[in-house]
A = this chain, B = another copy of it.
Amino acid sequence: MDNIISFDEGNGILVCEAGCILEKLDSFLAEKGYMMPLDFGAKGSCQIGGNISTNAGGIHLLRYGSLRANILGLEIVLANGQVIDSLRSLRKDNTGYDMKQIFIGAEGTLGVVTKVSILTPARLSSRNVVFLGCKYFTDCQRALKEARSNLGEILSAFEFLDRKALDMVLSHSDGLRDPLPDSKHSFYLLVETTGSCFNHDREKLDNFLEICMDKGVVADGVVAQDNQQFRSFWQLREGITEALSKAGAVYKYDLSIPVPYMYNIVENLQHRLGDLAVVMGYGHLGDGNLHLNISAPRYDSKIFSLIEPFVYEWTASHKGSVSAEHGLGFMKADAIYYSKSPEMVQWMTRFKQMFDCNGILNPYKVLPGSSFKEGSRYRNVSNSS
């Protein structure tokens, strides 16, 4: 299940089996002048079938869009053993309903993805990354706006982390240093550009930095000078998860929140928890995706009761999503009602019943048990139910 089936060099269309490791696919494409449109810390172990089943996001969604735009075709095995072959390699196909979409992000509860056709972007030669320090979260937002207008088409990632997240990764990772050691900042930004001409990109980046400094949006900043520094800046962002797991107990939330309010929940929750735990925030600022992490010496029911349902209720009241990119799985299936109406969940249950009436595919995931009313799991579905 980890074979590459074909690659169209003229149009960048890769067809492969679902068990291929994301990083291996990217290495294969590198030789052909292309790249995978998605990237994240787990790339060395995650498989493309899982990426699709969880509608994985990652650091480059800002530039290359979601999997919904890049997946051209899927082969899916259904609960009844039927193989659905929509493994086309066409950018456009408006013949009937786009069935494959319903399996993207369904976490394997409607069918099992076995083969994939995916559109891959050209691997451009020039990549740069800058590490910036900001005083306020509003400055981070202003920097994002400047990046959108001044970096425009070359902007490929816009990530943020707060000071507590930086401290966490610095204290648990060997060989990583603070890129801005002269002063401490409340927030840090990691801004990546990708383009086809190094000189043009550097000129745009210098211009962006000058504007940010002049306007007082950014307090300090440094451009990675070589590949090693490029990687070490990214390790500061991507190493947070691992550092947290070394530090003790960690409660993790993956929220979509409108950018202006995004950091308020970190502050509010820290206020609630006081000295019991350290609350930190980082994530994909350009996508409005906050990774909210609470680090404590050990798992504790008092701490947990202060976190939940507060985090979910806060997110719902700000029209956010309680799972931006990680999915619901087993643990968060009941939290679906914070982001979706009972009517929506009822329709989802009908999809589940239609494709998997015996509930044999990844049971108890995604949909809450309560959505399957007495006997309804085996009941036929109709519009009037």
Contacts and interface: CB of A to CB of B under 8 A. Distances in A.
A55 B96 CA distance: 11
Contacts of A367: 96
Contacts of A99: 344, 347-348
A90 B324 contact: yes
Nearest to A207: B197
Nearest to A156: B153
B288 A11 contact: yes
A173 to B, nearest CB: 27
Contacts of A358: 383
Interface residues of A, number: 101
A61 interface: yes
Interface stretch (A18-26, A81-89, A164-172, A292-300): A81-89
A375 to B, nearest CB: 14
Contacts of A355: 383
B259 A321 contact: no
Interface string A72-88: 00000001101011101
Counted per complex, copies of this chain come to 2
A10 B93 contact: no
**Which among A90, A122, A124 has the greatest number of chain B C-beta atoms within 10 A?**
A90
Contacts of A203: 197, 200
A130 interface: no
A248 interface: no
Contact of A289 (B92, B326, B351, B380): B92
B149 A344 contact: no
Given A122-B149, A153-B154, A356-B383, A339 B95 contact: yes
B149 A84 contact: no
23 contacts: A10-B141, A68-B101, A69-B69, A86-B340, A88-B321, A90-B288, A92-B288, A92-B289, A94-B327, A95-B321, A95-B323, A95-B328, A95-B335, A96-B328, A96-B345, A97-B366, A99-B344, A99-B348, A153-B194, A153-B196, A354-B354, A380-B380, A380-B382
Interface of A: 8, 10-12, 33, 54-55, 57, 61, 65-66, 68-70, 79-80, 82, 84-86, 88-99, 101-102, 104-106, 110, 122, 124, 141, 144-145, 148-154, 194-197, 200, 203-204, 256, 258-260, 284, 287-289, 319-328, 335-336, 338-341, 343-345, 347-348, 350-351, 353-358, 366-367, 380-384
